[in-house]
Chain A
């Protein structure tokens, strides 16, 4: 029972007391842990490491720190796979034996569940210098701002999606999150019950999938969807809860993304109605440094 009440407050944070700060700090903790993992693994990447090895490194790093369940198992994409070049079927998302070379861009993407809280993060980097990906990362800042602004304005998710895509086009990039299942730019995440046995199916944790499916069912009845897509079913204002937002830019064989949790509440105060869970993340720090340098 206790688990049930916790789950409800997480799904509707702010319904009772503004923000259930204990809950949010749980999510924040797992998101930080994930980014730490990404930075640790990225620092260990060397020429010749394969995507599979990079994925295993993430998995083992998190497992050592107590992660037992996953929203999805870690992914790693190298080279033009960061831009999902020639992806036709979802199986192509899974790590391959492609080897990392100097100057190659890479993306690490993982979604662990820790103490019942899940996060979903994406970390972009390159082995050595890659000016193109550098530029992509800098240009992602505008997307983070745009998304927050428009969510606070309570615009329809589909319209926000289209505005993000327009911004990408203006910047000269291709929208690569369109390649994700259902073309989503974001999806809801939630608390997950901790079980002794937590199997995965096609890389996704069954517990988390169950949560998503039940959200989808509720949403279907109430006219919203836990998937933030370009399609009709996302033509509704932002639903309170936690959204893992992942704008993904592609530019001629180079891709870059960030992924982090956006908290949406039903507060009337715009500041409170939506905010990024954590502003102390690698990409945010990077932009701050860039601004300082400029």
Chain B
């Protein structure tokens, strides 16, 4: 036992250990960071011990007084005797209060719970006797059993098709809860083959990185922890408390890929927790292991806002669409000085992301960053970089990583237009368009994608392709070729990075009213004619008047839903449909030379 805990403590440099005695058991409590700072108390779930939090705790320890403890019967804390009846939420509340009094006697603590830690947290945050001891509560993957009970009752009493589907969905996800209610068998399994295989299963199914977690105490943690379910689930679901209102601000972090909990469980949670901040994360159940950076930053932001009400940003009436998903994330957009790139930067900014606006046009990029801050970006920066310059991109990536962190969402949007017959297009023209449209995307994906993959905490890459990627035409051979390459690159990369939880989307906007027409090169004509065509095509695009903001919305939606190929304008959708079902018609149309 002591060997195990030694390894656990070694994970956390500077950890101070103490024992808290309460109700006949001893709890192992570990503290990090300075005591005078706000206390963040992390409660683990099942089947876990406090070591599930090591990654998050390390990141929080630089700013807060971080406290972790092993729930009774788990890790190095002792188990109650007898086990039956020793794990009720009332007793767990006693434990929490004892720990809170020991580590922060004068100030309320910021509570963070994952899985069963969050189930407990909801109990702590909704019972009267903890009032004044909790400053805020961050919940992940663990609903209140009382809310859950009401959730079931409401749907049972009015089983509309939707309600029935929601019930059935959660009932299927809860299979393990039924298993844990059988006597002895779970204990035998955990102490036997399941306990041995569990770490590998976590790595394979839940993508939890290998390492010192789970600890060697797992079999006994899991065996004891079965009583969490047996002591609480049935009584609470049968008779849920009707006064389970949260008396503290709550931050709810919902992983969208959770195999055990449906997202629908939190519908209408505002009724129980009036001061609720929602966050969603594309990840599986064990987010403290798989997404420590994101969790640490959300917890830090939430705690800081509660500690310094003055610094708290004025709360908007209705949070922007997707604010739950992109709040605080780092988004880098290339070609952000105009058009779709700029609109995309603004859309992410509105959702509360931190934005890096990259463009060759320094002034335009600076303007984008400036306006992004105005619409809601917590921070925004401008960088003047030519995406086709590999060295400059390498430098940019290093700088961004050092100053702002690893990019969560990369939008490779920079592109230039080139029109003209193939036989009129010079090698120089080809080089120019491929350098920006294709090599720019390759550099972005390669350099920033590598950083994302190495971090191992997911991410998303968006590449702006074009409807021209699947729409042959005699007027845009070079441009279409470059965009077709971007489309295929995105598809291949999507396959490769899927295992790393990095999504890749290709956006095919179509005819959008941006300044790409005004800066396009028209091969095979003199300067005056080129100017005339630029003006003419700009006017036509202006008449079509499809706003880049709509493309930006499509980009955010694509990231949220992890869509592969996203045509945006109706003509782009139509062309994609035709390229699949009526390619010969498209080839016919391609022969027509549009008059400009």
Q: Which one of B317, B346, B367, B545 contacts A252 once the chains associate, using CB atoms below 8 Å?
A: B346
Residue B488 CB within 8 A of the other chain: no
From B10-18, B276-284, B368-376, the one touching the partner chain is B368-376
Residue A112 CB within 8 A of the other chain: no
Residue B456 CB within 8 A of the other chain: no
Chain B positions within 8 Å of A132 at CB level: 374-375
Verify A230–B542 contact, CB threshold 8 A.
Answer: yes
Verify B338–A251 contact, CB threshold 8 A.
Answer: no
Nearest A residue to B363, CB-CB: A170
B563 → chain A closest CB, angstroms: 23
Main secondary structure of the interface of B (DSSP, over half): helix
B338 → chain A closest CB, angstroms: 7
Residue A131 CB within 8 A of the other chain: yes
Query: Please, could you name 27 A-B residue pairs with CB atoms under 8 Å apart, sorted by A?
Result: A101-B317, A103-B317, A131-B374, A132-B374, A132-B375, A135-B374, A162-B538, A166-B515, A166-B518, A169-B338, A170-B367, A171-B367, A172-B342, A172-B346, A172-B367, A172-B368, A172-B371, A174-B547, A174-B549, A178-B545, A230-B539, A230-B542, A251-B371, A251-B375, A252-B350, A252-B375, A252-B549
Chain A positions within 8 Å of B545 at CB level: 178
- State the A residues within 8 Å of B (CB): 101, 103, 131-132, 135, 162, 165-166, 169-172, 174, 178, 230, 251-252
* Contact flags B313-346 to A (C-beta < 8 A → 1, else 0): 0000100000000000000000000100010001
- In whole angstroms, how far apart are the Cα atoms of A178 and B515 in the complex? 17
The size of the chain B interface, using a CB distance under 8 A, is: 19
Q: Which one of A135, A170, A252 contacts B364 once the chains associate, using CB atoms below 8 Å?
A: A170
Since A166-B518, A171-B367 are in contact, a sample of 17 more A-B pairs with Cβ atoms closer than 8 Å, ordered by chain A residue number, is A132-B375, A135-B371, A170-B364, A170-B367, A172-B342, A172-B346, A172-B368, A172-B371, A174-B547, A174-B549, A230-B539, A251-B371, A251-B375, A252-B346, A252-B350, A252-B375, A252-B549
B44 → chain A closest CB, angstroms: 42
Taking CB atoms and an 8 Å cut-off, the chain B residues in 373-406 that contact chain A are 374-375
A231 → chain B closest CB, angstroms: 9
B70 → chain A closest CB, angstroms: 48
Chain A positions within 8 Å of B368 at CB level: 172
Nearest B residue to A165, CB-CB: B542
- In whole angstroms, how far apart are the Cα atoms of A165 and B513 in the complex? 12
Chain A positions within 8 Å of B538 at CB level: 162
* Contact flags B511-528 to A (C-beta < 8 A → 1, else 0): 000010010000000000
* Contact flags B148-179 to A (C-beta < 8 A → 1, else 0): 00000000000000000000000000000000
Verify A169–B515 contact, CB threshold 8 A.
Answer: yes
Nearest A residue to B371, CB-CB: A172
- In whole angstroms, how far apart are the Cα atoms of A162 and B518 in the complex? 12
Chain B positions within 8 Å of A101 at CB level: 317
Chain B positions within 8 Å of A171 at CB level: 367
- In whole angstroms, how far apart are the Cα atoms of A170 and B371 in the complex? 12
Nearest B residue to A170, CB-CB: B364
B585 → chain A closest CB, angstroms: 31
Chain B positions within 8 Å of A252 at CB level: 346, 350, 375, 549
- In whole angstroms, how far apart are the Cα atoms of A24 and B371 in the complex? 39
Q: Determine which residue in A101, A103, A166, A169 has the highest number of CB atoms from chain B within 10 A of its CB, and name it.
A: A169
B344 → chain A closest CB, angstroms: 12
A251 → chain B closest CB, angstroms: 7
Chain B positions within 8 Å of A166 at CB level: 515, 518
Chain A positions within 8 Å of B542 at CB level: 165, 230
- In whole angstroms, how far apart are the Cα atoms of A103 and B515 in the complex? 32
Chain B positions within 8 Å of A162 at CB level: 538
- In whole angstroms, how far apart are the Cα atoms of A281 and B45 in the complex? 65
B368 → chain A closest CB, angstroms: 6
Q: Which 9 A-B pairs have the closest CB atoms?
A: A172-B371, A132-B374, A172-B367, A252-B375, A172-B342, A131-B374, A135-B374, A252-B346, A169-B515
- In whole angstroms, how far apart are the Cα atoms of A218 and B547 in the complex? 36
* Contact flags B528-560 to A (C-beta < 8 A → 1, else 0): 000000000011001001010100000000000
Chain B positions within 8 Å of A178 at CB level: 545
Q: Determine which residue in A170, A172, A174, A178 has the highest number of CB atoms from chain B within 10 A of its CB, and name it.
A: A172
Q: Determine which residue in B374, B518, B542 has the highest number of CB atoms from chain A within 10 A of its CB, and name it.
A: B374
Nearest B residue to A254, CB-CB: B375
Chain A positions within 8 Å of B371 at CB level: 135, 172, 251
